[in-house]
Structure 1
Amino acid sequence: MAFQLIYSVALLLSLWSTARCDFFVEGVLQMECHDRYFMIAVDLAATGGPRFEAVDGTGTYAITEDYAAKCGYSINVLSLLGLVEFRASYFSCHTEKDDGFSFRFNLITTYDGEDVYYALNKTCSPSLPWSPREVTCEVNYMEVSVRSELPCPAGFSDDWNTLEPLYSASTQGWQVTFQNLDEQLPPMNLSKARREGYVFDLAHDRIVFRTPYGQPESYSTEVNGVPVEVVHATLFLRQSWVAIMVDMIAACSMDAGSYHSGYMIWDTPEALYPSLGGTQISLGLNGKLGELAAAEQKGFIMARYNSTVQIGIPSNAEGGYRKSFVNNGIFEFYIFNLYLKQTSVDEQHEETALRFHRTLVTPLLPSSLFTEDQTDVAEGAFTVYLGKVPRDVELTSLQLNGQEFEVPFSDANTYTLTEFSKENAAMLHKLDINYTLKAIPGNDPYYYTVSVKALIAVSPPSFDASCTASGIDFKLAYRSFDYLWDISIGSDRLTPALAAEHGYTMSNDSHSLLLSVPLFTHGYKYQDITLKGFLGTFTILVRDHNTSEVKTSTIKTCLFNTTELIVCSTNGWMTVVTDLAVVLQSGEIPTIHLMNSRCVPKEVDGTRVLFSFPLHSCGSTVELSKGDVTYQNKIYFVRYENVSEGMTVQCIYPLASLQRLFSIHKFESDKEGFGNIIPFVTSTKGVQTCTTTEMTTTVAPQRTRTPSLHLPSFYHTARHVKVYRVRNKLPYLKKGTKDAMQEMRLPRF
């Protein structure tokens, strides 16, 4: 508040003279002599509602509202500016009129309930010579002064009736009579006239007459449509057969002004006083007169029409003042302290100078706030400007979609919007802004609301992927709208729990998602398996959050070195890479096959072999447990006509994942199988059954397994799995051994 007040005071003082007080008085901002009046500017806040007293040799006189209008003072409280402006006419009641005009006043302020008096003294000399007749139309009174030495008229008046009241026996000494539109009123002496509120004086060889507005003897009329107040007083003195008469007439335009198209318009008749060749105009604001040409350069306009002078003051005129007002909207009004001088010359070549002091106020004008949406979709943030906010209106609070934010609203405040709607690969964001504004000073709030929208083209997120020696790494840099999609591995949504279950390493924060997928974990697909290497492929799916529809995927295939592995595919194939060095003697390269001797390795490299065969071929057996189906085969090698068992290989599938096997008679698993490679430790010569104790070896990096699912109750395993004895002689078993082995085969389709 202090800054606002200082700013307003500085603004107004910049329009006044730079002359300062001759001495320092607390609260007095300025004392200044003008061409026809003396002015004091007082700080309203510092003086707490000041009062003034006039001082002369006879005593002190309180300047009340009525006394001010009678004695030539005007007190203008500019509360919006925090100022009080006091003006005193050079012919005011208690002015000492010697060589100059000397003013003495007491400024009375109140502190802690006590009156404090400051003496303010100033002597002024008029800067301009006096015209034969001078008229001042102040805000609260009219004043006219004429030279006391009047020129002789060129002829005598033919209207002898105007002299009749002067010859009454009661008219002794100076008398005054008033004339209205219809009649001339009876004369009264000056003492009675003073009691009625009129003042007559003689100073500096000038006769002065002053009257407040609205006196009974004044009258209102219209001149060319402009309201005018007139007081027509005739001052006379009768001595014997000689009568001295002084015509004192004050006529002032009472136009209150009007506002139109950015201008405050004020009218005055051009011929309030007799004039030959029109009138000359000079004008300004706040007591400063300037030539018309200079005023027009500042945006003022002056026009004459129908014997009327019309002044136009632009709303942004320097020296004007504006104020905001809140009442179910933001309004503004402008205040102009117009000072105008109108000079005319009559047929006797006598000049009349007419001065107006008028405070003009515009009506309440709506302040048209506006918003400018400068949102850049690429930045992912709304940028909205509120424009044409008056300087005396401040933002007190702000709501975004109903959420309150502190003021001032800085870049440090962020607010994430939820999705408004999404169609055709675009997302519409909507921001409802509620500005709360207040005029200063003032307590009434004004709420200004606006809604802005941003249509953002969106696409599903895409991962960066890279191969490592032990697996594949995926990285996703989050965007503000990536919450619209779900990340999944197959049909399962990627969560920390899922990652822990399958052995993934996942790091997830508000900026990025990092996922490391070790080789042979759930979700890999394997292709082109050779003893030199194989391709491992891992797929991450991006699904619509609402419909679970797959929108895009990130597929990464990497080349890995082959060590030892077993792959149990969903289409019923077992692929095995193993090293038989643990069961072979050094340098030995035997013949190697599966249980069916015709099933030999696809590749052999020393003791390393690669088999790939359908699960239901090559003599594989099937074992059915409560929840799983196990397909098993064995790797044999022949040396020196002896057959030895080297490895047992298994693929175990959850029974529930094989439902298509029983419905369409085709092997197709919903999940990959779980593989085991079991070394056979002891080898024998001749014909032996495999009765030696087996050691099951399960190597975690060489298997893919998901948790087994319980078989639904509507699957009847006994009706879909048949057991057969082996009828064909096995080529690698001698007689007597076939009854020792059984084979459970699935029918060939």
Structure 2
Amino acid sequence: TNTSTAMAFNHSLALLLSLWATAGCDFFVEGVLQLECRDRYFMIAVDLAATGDVPRFEAVDGTGTYAITEDYAAKCGYSISILSLLGLVELRASYFSCHTEKTLFQGAGFSFRFNLITTYEGVDAYYALNKTCSSPLPWSPREVTCEVNYMEVSVRSELPCQSGSSDDSSTLGPLYSPSTEVWQVTFQNPYQQLPPMNLSQARQEGYIFDHVHDRIVFRTPYGQPESYHTEVTGVPVEVVHATVFSRQSWVVVMVDLIAACSMDEGSYDSGYMIWGTPEALYPSLGTTQISFGLNGNLVEQAAVVQKGFIMERYNSTVQIGIPYDAEGGYRKSFVSDCLSEFYIFNLYLKQTSVDERHEETVLWFHRTLVTPLLSSPLFTEDQTDVDNGTFSIHLGKVPRDVELTSVQLNGQEFAVPFSDSIAYTLTEVRHSNKSHSYTLKVPLHDPIVIQEFSKENAAMLHKLDINYTLIVKPGDEPYYHTFSVTARMAVSPPSFDVVCTESGIDFKLAYRSFDYLWDFTIGSDRLTPVLAANHGYTMSNDSQSLLLSVPLFTHGYKYKDIGLNGFLGTFSILVRDRETADILTSTTKTCLFNATEFIMCSTNGWMTVVVDLSAVLPSGEMPTRFHLLNNFCVPKAVDGTRVLFSFPLHSCGSTVKLAKENVTYQNKIYLDTSENAVEGFNPPTPHRMTVQCTYPLVGLHRLFSIH
């Protein structure tokens, strides 16, 4: 971890030093959640939300008020923990703390008086918090408390001292005679020889000695010059060994006070926070008794197993394993190079040993254990439903203290929650495991979606790049999580709906979003409005659909089964690859047209005519023979006065007339009647009808390509 990340982490960690358990108050003060007597300490929990700025505390006794600063707390038996992310401040006060008044409440009582100081707009408000406690457990001959900021040891005193504290805090009380000598203390350190000092000097150095309810008390902050560090069965231990003594006449009174605490900071392994302490920090005849829990609550052995905790003894060391998701722990997200997390546990442990004199020593541990930064990857799943035409992306395993603030879709950003004016939806679901998830839905055919055709997959690719912006709360440090999703939709060339009409064929195409991939052609010519106009088609084309009406006898038709009563007309629209011009598919329609008269001028150089010649015949006459300018070109079919001719334009005596923009091929149909056939008459006036086909000059290459 780089330096800036480490500093940010340590700053966050400084605000997360303890957890708390809910309980009732003896009386109501706004913001005070708890005033509770515990086994060996008194606890106050305050709600930050109700007190504005971080509250302060003062200890109160008959001599005045004393601000509980960080240094003063470690010296005098107080521990203040700020859990700003939960909005809480917790004060723990030892029963032997400096300003605790000793009473006879229920035998041996401890009376606590504090001022809670809150600040609103620069104005301080003071609230008095008072509570008298008695220890719920009997005191052992020797008890040691290893708090987070100090060590405290108390031993049973058999000295005939007066109850209550002495007026002179530098003495332990009168001893054996009215004349009291000055008590002194010497610290034993295996690494150096330390000179003795009187108790007044020791107090100035941060040490406290006291005599409370027939117990001698010694307290010291961690890291004092007279303490030393060692290892016991591989576990780091801080030890301070003080001996207080007084020489009175021919009697020397000595009291040995040793505080030894495991300084193991804990380690993380396979989902457990592991913390260890030597099996016997103090002499023990056998196995020490261990009970532990979180947040000041000891847990029964059966519940320990049920909650997933582990306690193992290995090489004279007791190891405690706390599951990372144990109830009572606290989780915090953290942004470094990626989204990370760490877990905080406020371990509370009681260790009891019995020495060779059958004297019991009890150790009480308060330890704040913090895991290293652990990777906390988000879970993203593509749940897209192509059949329903919707992207569906699930973003899961989002910690409860991480909030989604915006979503960027293909570069366009949308604040969360989405407005009702957009076609996208974002649904949040909260889960029981203290996480939540989001499901994003975007229509596949929305304009924001990028669409690309993949020839390799023969599919239309719908692409959506998503950038989630998340914020770790409290604070505003963003974390960006990106995810790209592609939906493949198999595509096929379009097919027209076709209808036969009396005068031609109508084609209709409802456009799909990807139909721009194709070209539509009539033969080899691309279908455009200009082409349609030149060929006499009626065309309507917009973003929704294409309509094309193709009248009979216009360019592109193919005819067959032509007879006197009609014919089959076929028209095709080809679908080509826009890049290669390869024909991919076509829509072809053949319709039966019932027509009594028509002229077909085909582009392959043929003229086909069905005509009723009764209009050119004299009344009552019947034709006996039909032919074109060339007498040998006769009809293919005859029905009375109706005839069918089909012949090449360059045959049967056809004539050609060239104009500026077109060329006309012309021929005549002649009719011979019975009167014309009688010999000896004057030559009759011929009966005839002119038929012709006109073509634009630009198309002549098709007519002459085979000539």
How high is the TM-score relative to the length of structure 1?
A: 0.77
Aligned with 1:290: secondary structure?
coil
Residue 649 of structure 1 corresponds to 691
Query: Separation in 2 of the partners of 1:646 and 1:24?
Result: 123
How far is 1:390 from its partner?
3.3
Aligned counterpart for 2:83 among listed residues 78, 82, 100: 78
CA distance in 1, matches of 2:562, 2:113: 115
| Alignment CA distance shift 1:504-1:315 (3 Å) | farther
What amino acid is the match of 2:148? V
Q: C-alpha distance in 1, partners of 2:566/2:136?
A: 110
Q: Partner of 2:608: helix, strand, or coil? A: strand
* Deviation of 1:184 (Å): 6.7
- The answer to whether the 8 Å contact 1:636/1:643 transfers is no
Would the alpha carbon gap of residues 664 and 594 (structure 1) be closer, same or farther in structure 2, given more than 3 Å must change?
Answer: closer
The residue aligned with 1:301 is 310
Query: Is residue 70 of structure 2 the alignment partner of residue 65 of structure 1?
Result: yes
Q: Please show how residues 184-203 of structure 1 align to structure 2 within 5 Å.
A: 185-203=194-212
Between stretches 523-532 and 440-449, larger displacement belongs to: 440-449
Q: Distance in 1 between matches of 2:452 and 2:538?
A: 31
User: Do structure 1's residue 37 and structure 2's residue 31 form an aligned pair?
Assistant: no
Distance in 1 between the 2:535 and 2:407 partners? 48
Distance (Å, rounded) in 1 between the aligned partners of 2:687 and 2:415: 80
Q: From the superposition, tell whether residues 618 and 333 of structure 1 become closer, same or farther in structure 2 (CA, over 3 Å).
A: same
Q: How many residues align?
A: 637
1:273–1:424 CA distance, 2 compared to 1 (3 A):
closer
**Residues in 2 aligned to 1:237 and 1:245: alpha-carbon distance in whole angstroms:** 7
Q: Is 1:54 matched with 2:59?
A: yes
Aligned twin of 2:223:
214
1:175–1:187 CA contact under 8 A, matched in 2: yes
Contact 2:605 2:703 in 1 (8 A): no
Q: How does 1:561-580 map to 2 (within 5 A)?
A: 561-580=594-613
**How far did residue 464 of structure 1 move?**
3.3
Counterparts of 1:186-585 in structure 2, within 5 Å, are: 186-369=195-378, 371-375=380-384, 383-407=392-416, 410=425, 411-412=441-442, 414=446, 415-419=448-452, 421-423=454-456, 425-426=458-459, 432-453=465-486, 457-499=490-532, 502=535, 504-506=537-539, 508=541, 510=543, 512-580=545-613, 582-583=615-616
Aligned-CA RMSD value: 3.3
Q: Name the aligned partner's letter for residue 48 of structure 1.
A: D
Partners of 1:548 and 1:242 in 2: CA distance: 118
How far did residue 228 of structure 1 move?
0.9
Corresponding position: 1:631 with 2:635: no
Map Cα deviations across residues 246-266 of structure 1 (whole Å, 9 max, x no partner).
Answer: 322111111111222222221
Q: Which amino acid aligns with 2:41?
A: Y
- What is aligned with 2:647? 613
For 1:26, the aligned partner's letter is E
Give the drift of 1:541: 0.9
Inter-CA distance 539–194: structure 2 relative to 1 (3 Å threshold): same
| Structure 2 gap segments, 5+ residues each | 1-15, 161-174, 419-423, 426-440, 677-683
| Letter of the 2:604 counterpart | N
Deviation of the 1:75 alpha carbon: 0.9
CA contact (8 A) 1:530 1:562 kept: no
SS at match of 2:224: coil
Superposed CA deviations along residues 368-426 of structure 1, whole A, max 9, x for unmatched, are 34544445665666554445443333344444554545545633563332426423745
1:622 alignment counterpart: 656
SS at match of 1:423: coil
Q: 1:586 to 1:144 in 2, by over 3 A?
A: farther
Deviations 1:490-542 (A, max 9, x none): 23333445445555455555555444434444432222122332212111111
Contact 2:667 2:691 in 1 (8 A): yes
Once residues 521 and 594 of structure 2 are traced to their aligned partners in structure 1, the CA distance between those partners, rounded to angstroms, is 27
Q: Name the SS for the 1:172 alignment partner.
A: coil
Q: Which amino acid aligns with 1:25?
A: V
Contact 1:134 1:352 in 2 (8 A): yes
Q: CA deviation at 1:16?
A: 4.8
Q: Residue 19 of structure 2 contacts residue 345 of structure 2 at CA under 8 Å; is this kept in 1?
A: no
User: Matches of 2:94 and 2:367 in 1, distance apart?
Assistant: 15
Q: Distance in 2 between matches of 1:450 and 1:650?
A: 70
Retained in 2: the 8 A contact 1:326–1:438? no
For 1:106, which of 102, 115, 124 is the aligned residue?
Answer: 115
Given that residues 508 and 547 in structure 2 are in contact (C-alpha distance below 8 angstroms), is that contact kept between their aligned partners in structure 1?
yes
Aligned to 1:741: none
Q: Which residue of 1 aligns with 2:421?
A: none
The Cα offsets for residues 64-119 of structure 1, whole Å up to 9 and x where unpaired, read as 11111111111111233332221112222222332133322211111111112222
Pick one of 24, 38, 41 that aligns with 1:20: 24
C-alpha deviation, 1:127, in angstroms? 3.0
Deviations 1:690-744 (A, max 9, x none): xxxxxxxxxxxxxxxxxxxxxxxxxxxxxxxxxxxxxxxxxxxxxxxxxxxxxxx
- Distance of 2:57 and 2:542 partners within structure 1: 73
Look up the equivalent residue of 2:667 and give its one-letter code: N
- SS of alignment partner, residue 91 of structure 1: coil
Secondary structure in structure 2 of the residue aligned to 1:273: coil
Following the alignment from structure 1 to structure 2, what is the Cα–Cα distance between the partners of residues 619 and 546?
47
The answer as to whether partners of 2:467 and 2:483 remain within 8 angstroms in 1 is yes
Change in CA separation of 1:182 and 1:522 when aligned onto 2, cut-off 3 Å: same
* Secondary structure of the corresponding residue to residue 20 of structure 1: coil
Give the structure-2-normalised TM-score.
0.81
Task: Indicate if the aligned counterparts of 1:580 and 1:608 stay in contact, CA closer than 8 A.
Answer: yes
Residues 137-216 of structure 1 aligned to structure 2 (within 5 Å): 137-149=146-158, 172-181=181-190, 185-216=194-225
Asked whether the 8 Å contact 1:422–1:428 carries over to 2, the reply is no
More strand by share: 2
Q: Distance in 2 between matches of 1:125 and 1:541?
A: 99
Cα 1:470–1:663 change in 2 (3 A) is closer
Query: Partners of 2:669 and 2:691 in 1: how far apart?
Result: 8
5+ residue gaps, structure 1, are 1-11, 152-165, 666-749
SS of corresponding position for 2:186: strand
Contact (CA 8 Å) 1:420, 1:430: kept in 2 or not? no
3-state DSSP of counterpart to 1:343: strand
Residues 1:602 and 1:383: Cα distance change in structure 2 (over 3 Å): same
Tell me: CA distance 1:209–1:507, structure 2 relative to 1, closer, same or farther (3 Å).
farther
For residues 593 and 643 of structure 2, the distance between their equivalents in structure 1, rounded to whole angstroms, comes to 17
Q: How far is the alpha carbon of 1:568 from its aligned partner? A: 0.7
Mean CA deviation greater in 597-606 or 458-467: 597-606
Q: Please state whether the residue corresponding to 1:129 is helix, strand or coil.
A: coil
Cα 1:116/1:389, change in 2 over 3 Å: same
Quote the Cα distance in structure 2 between the aligned partners of 1:412 and 1:572: 57
Matched residues in 2 for 1:28 and 1:604: separation? Answer: 116
> Aligned pair in 2 of structure 1 residues 583, 443: CA closer, same or farther (>3 Å)?
same
8 Å contact kept, 1:177–1:184: no
